[in-house]
Amino acid sequence: MRLAAGIRGGSLALFAVASPVAGQVGDYAYVGVGSGQTTSVAVAALHLQVGSSDDPVGMEGTAWLLGAILSDQTNAALAGTSATVSAVVGRSTTIYTMTAPRDRWGASWATLAGVIFSDLIQPAALERSRAALSATSAFEGASPTADFGREAAGLLAPPSHPWAQPPKGDSESLASITDADLQRFRDERYRPASASVGLVGTGDARDVIARVDPAPRPEIDSIAWTEGRRVTIAQDVTSAWLAISYPLPARAGRTELEFITQLVSDAVEPLVPDPSLFSMHVRLVDAPHGPVVTIETVVSPSAAAVSERRIMGAVRGLAERPPAGELFQFARRRFRAARLLEESYPENAAGRIAADLMRSGVARNLQDEIWGIDSRSLAGALALLGEPRVFFLGPDPRGPQG
Amino acid sequence: MPALILLVVALLSPSRAHAQGDTGFLVPDTVVQAPSGPRIVILEADRGGVAALRLFVPLIEGPAEAGVGRILVTLALERMAGPAGQVGARVSSERTPWGIAYTAAGAEVDLEYLTYLLRRAAERPQPETVALDRARGALQAEIERISETPAERLLYEVGRSAAPHLPPATGSPTTLGMIGSARLQEVWARSHNPSEMSIVAWTTSDPEVLHAMLGSLGAPETTSSAPLDAPDPGSALAQAPPRLRSWYAQAQIDTSTSDPHAAVAAHMIARALQESAAEFQASVRLWQLRDRTLLVVSGSAGRGRGPRMRAAISSVVDQVRDGLDAASVAASVSEVAWRYRLEARNPQGLVGVIGRALEATGQPTGAESYLSRLSAISVTSLATYLGSLSDPLTTELLP
């Protein structure tokens, strides 16, 4: 008996595959169908538990290169059908997203599955993707962005953990990867039986996928770290880069974690435009030992210290005085609208369903889950925010003499 | 309180969910005409939990008031943006060839608030000098950018020669200088007439409920008047800075506003020009105007390559017409149809696609009709279409 999935709230039909099905989907761990959404196209998201942290030593960039090659080869195979595929390779996941005409999604999916899991790596596609990735790597490698990304990721994972290694490798590691290496990596890591699929706009697919009983949600109760830390790298650059990360309680539930991320984002955004603030991104990161909310900002060096204090003060204020009453209602209302609008794009909905299934075996009914969050549970989760880890890269705050 | 009476103009389909066929998703479920109010086109929403509303206001600018529509668009967006942020709604406003469209999207349970946002968008602009100056300044900067950017200047000039009777949507430095609060309010009162408006709505609510939520939109009908009947004060661009490359554009006029042949022709011309990519850079643009569509082919080339570029652009339409075959036409039709579907893949995109077709044709089924006619395009019909285009109007910018 293989994996099963459940139905929550009636808007998602979730099925596990009982056997390979002709031309549609193969032997996948989970398949979730978003049946409550009308759309003019069909979208399938294939979620694999393979990422840059699986790259063999000395061959960093393998997962990225493979994702680029296989999406390239799939698009070539789909040419003339209107269907297209894109790949996003993360530190621990690879997601292929296919958008296709509704009346031809089955055939397009069969093509995608054939290329992704079976077709040989084509040398021309390898060289094309390697050249493109090497160029990107060389460009980014010479900028502070690469240093910042590497060091900031290092703070979120245990020392020497492969999760934190540069996801795209470097020109040397990319040059060393052969088609045989990629083939081997794919054979070992790309397994339908450990992949999930999210479908939107395909109909409920009951005619091709057997339905089985829901699987229990695994209990997750870990935290990314228990001790805060601060790391500074002085570099002669024109901007200051800051990453401030807080470990989140995993047992809070995914929707609540996303809500907290939204609240942190609202709290740290300056109320009035700040000319010294060049960019700010707040995101939820699945670090190796637990979820983390990370605030990354680029500011004028002279404003770095103030920005750091302001951000940490805002997050502390949120934890100490969580939104309650009408403020909570408004915040939840904003969050619900933002998430629903995001999911109104079928590619986002399919990707989220696939990710949910991979994470917990169950795809969420977002409306119900968001509505189920109350101010008390939110306050409890915010109270469990851990000690921050802070990374600073920029001109030495003590001046040129150090 | 008098009972609300809505005239059901046409019940187009029992439900899009049940509509069979390839284009059913573009067929509205209900169309009603509210007495002294807007025409309401309902697309029955699914359980996705999102509502999307597009309010259209027809607007024709006189030559001396060119640019007013764009300023109204900017001011309306400023009025909507703050309140939209309170509930996480997304809002936008745009100047279309036929008027102004305001869009609000958010959670279905916030529908009443979304209608409030549209009321904010359509309300009388307040005479705030700072906001007006800012909007006018942004348009002036856009005109200056067009003046000194060869690709944009080329399009502007070829557009003016192909439709001299239509004032540029950006206005000109002269007309912008003439727009004050009084002119703004006058144009608003003339255009924001509720009975001329239309709304395309993706919602689970009935039209009666939506109409009640919308309340009184825009200006009272009695303020309607004609566009300012004053001559064009001049819309020539400032002198262009020196250039390093040759720039050339040709425009051919299609006198319709919703013929799908235009998009297929543009797609095939673009493919034909791709083969010349090493020689020069070229682009194809379908430019929708109020009463016509322009098929514009433009390009730029380095020194010595200008004549070859001009020759290639001048001959490309004939070249495409002479080389038409069933397979290439079918491929282009399929690609154009797919892009249409992609744009309509979520509620915001769908109300935009159906709304724009409604504005162009006056028909709630304009989008569905477009896609149906698109699928019927053949080698013969496309050859006839290409032969029906006007003689090319050309513009050139030399180094």
Query: Tens of pLDDT along B85-136?
Result: 999 999 999 999 999 999 999 999 999 999 999 999 999 998 778 889 999 9
Residue of A nearest to B334 (CA): A82
- Per-range mean pLDDT, top range of A147-156, A203-212, A272-281, B192-201: B192-201
**Of A169 and A22, more confident:** A169
Mean residue pLDDT of chain A comes to 85
Element (H, E) at A89: strand A84-89
Which of A8, A11, A38, A272 should we substitute to test contact with B (largest number of B Cβ atoms within 10 Å)? A38
Q: Is the pLDDT of residue B11 over 80?
A: no
What local confidence, expressed as pLDDT, does residue B271 receive?
A: 92
| Nearest CB to A333; choose among B25, B87, B90 | B87
pLDDT reported for residue B245: 84
Q: Which of A36, A41, A333 sits opposite B88 (nearest CB)?
A: A333
Of A38, A40, A335, the CB nearest to B341: A40
pLDDT tens digits for B222-248?
A: 555 667 666 666 667 777 777 788 899
- Residue A401 is predicted with a pLDDT of 53
Max mean pLDDT range (A207-221, B149-163, B368-382): B368-382
Say what the pLDDT of residue A24 is: 41
Q: Please give the pLDDT value at position B393.
A: 92
Q: Residue A376 has what pLDDT? A: 94
**Interface size, chain A vs chain B, as Cβ–Cβ contacts under 8 Å:** 77
Please report the ipTM that was assigned to this predicted complex. 0.87
- A365 conformational bin, left if phi > 0, alpha if psi -120 to 50, beta if neither: beta
CA distance A245 to B275: 50
The nearest alpha carbon in chain A to B343 belongs to: A40
pLDDT at B262 over 90: yes
**Mean pLDDT on A198-207:** 75
Q: Which of A39, A333, A336 sits opposite B345 (nearest CB)?
A: A39
Mean pLDDT of A186-202: 90
Which residues does residue A221 pair with via DSSP β-bridges, in sequence order?
none
Tens of pLDDT, residue by residue over B18-54, are: 333 478 889 999 999 988 889 999 999 876 689 999 9
> Which residue of chain B comes nearest to A40, CA vs CA?
B345
Mean pLDDT of B144-154: 87
Taking each continuous run of H as one helix and of E as one strand, the counts in chain A are 12, 11
CB contact under 8 A, B334 and A82: yes
CA–CA gap between residue A183 and residue A167 (Å, rounded): 19
Q: What is the pTM of this model?
A: 0.88
Residue type, B161: S
SS3 label, residue A256? helix
Closest-CA distance, A316 to chain B, in angstroms, reads: 23
How do residues A261-295 score in pLDDT, each as one tens digit? Answer: 999 999 998 877 788 888 999 999 999 999 999 99
Rounded mean pLDDT, B266-290: 88
Taking residues A340-365, report their average pLDDT.
92
pLDDT at B223: 58
Nearest chain A CA: its distance from B30 CA (Å): 17
Q: What is the pLDDT of residues A376-393, one digit of tens each?
A: 999 999 998 999 999 999
Once rounded to an integer, what is the mean pLDDT over residues B1-8? 40
Q: How many CB atoms lie within 10 A of CB A330?
A: 14
Using CA atoms, how far apart are residues A373 and A332, in angstroms rounded to an integer? 8
Instruction: Flag whether pLDDT at A318 surpasses 90.
Output: yes
| For testing contact with chain B, the best of A340, A342, A343, A348 (most B CBs within 10 A) | A340
| pLDDT computed for residue B239 by the predictor | 73
Nearest-angstrom CA–CA distance, B3 and B254: 47
Distance CA B165, CA B282 (A): 28
Q: What is the pLDDT of residue A219?
A: 56
CA distances from A29 to A24, A361, A388, B163 (A): 15, 9, 36, 60
- Enumerate the H helices of B109-227 as residue ranges: 111-122, 129-148, 150-162, 173-178, 181-191, 207-214
Chain B positions in Cβ-Cβ contact with residue A336 (cut-off 8 Å): 88, 107
Of A191, A170, A203, give the one whose Cα is nearest residue A55.
Answer: A170
- Residues of chain B with Cβ-Cβ distance to A343 below 8 Å are 48
Region B196-212 average pLDDT = 93
B344-367 average pLDDT score: 95
Q: What's the average model confidence in pLDDT over A58-84?
A: 95
